[in-house]
Chain A
């Protein structure tokens, strides 16, 4: 009997999978299942690179995105492409050309000489006054400007922990790329001459960090409501849940709006405003997750392993800490990631209405808001670049969320 038992164990240990599978924890299992989904992995890499580029935006952007870095010589300028070859030959180092503003074609002398309306008519019809001609720049194909890597530029703080009281502020002045003289505007400039590409990179991180703050706040309120409701049950549960139910039926965007309006009447600095908006979005969005956490706690609480822990003499505190909380960490992580796009959309909606962040802050919402402007729609189509980044970012989040949702239940495959 004994030997047969032992033999059985010997067999089992060797079958199909290696030790790493057996010693893998929950998150490792989710990861393993996630990596099997091609669309999720691709989206994940896109997501990670966009967010990293956002986080190290100063390093990746060739131009200071604030008004300090605005290129007065190149306002409303079109994207400057870079090339590896042209009529003059091939260069291994990519280069761009020199752009200069064309002289205004207004012939003041003719205007003065004739003084008539004819001249004015001619001027108008030539298009020199229309805004579309204002971003006409001459390309000097003879003057190549070569792209430099790790170029010295304006100084920025790479990682700044001084907020956390650590007094650690890593400052650097190198940038991934730039050109010898002047600035390179990969995606053109806006009406102040600010570089669209650099602004977008900076905006990504601002938006993502708002979402992070909002989601942390949301998690906190949801855990509080759901946890209290689920753990205590009874009357507390009934009261909290009817409140949650009431919050759930009120459309959220108008509510955010009301709060944003209230915020806008207060005198806040842009940083405070930034956090206030994140907190509002997060705090008012507890209904769905709170409800789900409550149900989750209720089901987990009735699982045999919790009863087992009780029978082992574990205190309530130990059960919550060792058993219940770990049981929904993975769930919470997945849910949070899935909710990212919705929070970002809420932020952009507010900014779009001019009630969230406003110029000169770089946030995706602020940049998207510009897309409303007919002038931009018709004459500066490159300012739609942030829209593209935004759509890619959200799509990446959605696909990652989708794949995660499928991967989140590591026990579903062994039924």
Chain B
């Protein structure tokens, strides 16, 4: 546990913070006796999975906890600046402004939801500046536009008078940052500021935050679950789990010489690039062929002219049998539409899909009608959202038995039960739990149920659409392990759709990259990750937040050429976390030395 000797230089001091929640089920300990210091100008990374209490800690600094939260009396929260010593927990009413917005600003995860939808962006920023800096409207407006310019918003004067939904995702987060900086805070709390963004945008925003931090010299409390992001930005790291601090120290120490087994587990859950599977000597025979496939949806609202939005444009592809195929792309690239089209769940406007080696012919497309039952026996889907994909009104047994009962694949209830139990065991679902309803399960368990349902009718092919995106890293690792295990046992072919390149790298044999409805590049994992050919793929790969040392801090994103320079060197055997960079290599040698 890191205890700073020079106490008086601390900007923020958290001592023995304990927060309980008064819920219907009784008192829940959310944060348990944690201590944390932030010095002026320091970037503190706060890492943990969902429910670890990291966001609650941040909110307690701003006094934003919900009404049923109880901060235990021994807790202390102090802000020190110049000769001010503020006891945050004693602040009431108007005095809270000293903390809220004045000395501390906060950036939230979802920029869309954190701006009021019916008030112009500029107005909200002007309001903030008027409260804290006492500027006149004109002055505040001038300053605000200057700030917009500074955070890299194009055409700032126009954007200043727009509403939040008129901006793109990256611009929104930039506007949010501008707003947070408008009062020149001493401490910036960033609560998962890049999680909701696409990789390339994430990289840009991170770069911006680094730059601003250097220029303005404020301290930062950076909350995230992503160790890769932390390694880029944090000086010191605190790891939290179930409301307690399990490890704290400077970034190098925590990330590369983790002392606590939980930190080690988190790091282990990061994808490995070392044992990227060797590509089979020859490409295995195709399980299904996609022939010149296009998917278009009618544009909603405009009924007179049937305008169509084409999500997938003329893709032809063979999916090799028995492989896990990764489908990568940023949001809006059409990857989900493609996945659904393979299952006959998206409107195919051109082309066709043909499955090979099925008992009865499965071939459908724009002009060929789909035989649903034949397809359902061959191909199934695992959904993204573990909450909405399970009918909340059915028991787990009924959910898993759905395909068997719907297609009448079994002759008796006993047989159905037997197959459900078999599959549940295979997916590591407790047989006792089959009587329960979905609401009793966590996200990871729900995803197992979803997998069991997909596999119970013994399909050859499953589409997993962002199936681990909603899960915590360590749970992700479990689900990925399960998928691999099932692939080996059942000889499945899996199309794994994801925006997260590190997951793809960890899981897949074969990767396809999509952009704007078109296929950019396809190849083995090694080809795509180590020798990307297309500029878009290169940009994508370069944007992955890398696990790298904090010293010396890199000013800019590594150019993609840097990566290739590394890749020219012989691959190093042994576990390498994150992506192959100089840093990971150094880390690796360090670990060997230990």
Contacts and interface: CB of A to CB of B under 8 A. Distances in A.
Interface in A319-349: 322-323, 326-327
B402 A304 contact: no
B211 interface: no
Interface string B416-453: 00000000000010101101110111100100001001
B510 interface: no
Contact of A9 (B345, B377, B428, B436): B428
A313 B408 CA distance: 10
B428 A313 contact: no
B430 A313 contact: no
A153 interface: no
A26 B392 contact: yes
A5 interface: yes
A12 interface: yes
A327 B392 CA distance: 8
A313 B345 contact: no
B551 interface: no
- Which of B24, B384, B394 has its CB near the most chain A CB atoms (within 10 A)? B394
Given A22-B440, A313-B406, A12 B383 contact: no
Contact of B393 (A4, A17, A25): A25
A304 B26 CA distance: 33
A389 interface: no
A303 interface: yes
B237 to A, nearest CB: 24
Contacts of A5: 428, 478
A209 to B, nearest CB: 30
A6 B390 CA distance: 22
Interface residues of A, number: 40
A411 B345 contact: no
B439 A36 contact: no
A327 B24 CA distance: 26
B interface residue count range (under 10 / 10 to 19 / 20 to 34 / 35 or more): 35 or more
Given A5-B428, A5-B478, A12-B442, A315 B437 contact: no
A16 B393 contact: no
Interface of A: 1-2, 4-6, 8-9, 12-13, 16-17, 21-26, 29, 36, 303-305, 307-315, 318, 322-323, 326-327, 410-411, 413-414
B376 A313 contact: yes
A325 to B, nearest CB: 10
Contacts of A36: 24
Contacts of A26: 392-393, 437
Given A6-B428, A23-B437, A312 B402 contact: yes
B25 interface: yes
Contacts of B384: 304
Contacts of A327: 391, 393
A123 B576 CA distance: 115
B437 A308 contact: no
B389 interface: yes
Contact of A23 (B388, B393, B394, B435): B435
A312 B478 contact: no
A23 B403 contact: no
7 contacts: A5-B428, A5-B478, A13-B432, A304-B388, A312-B403, A318-B406, A327-B393
Contacts of B432: 13
A304 B393 contact: no
A326 B393 contact: yes
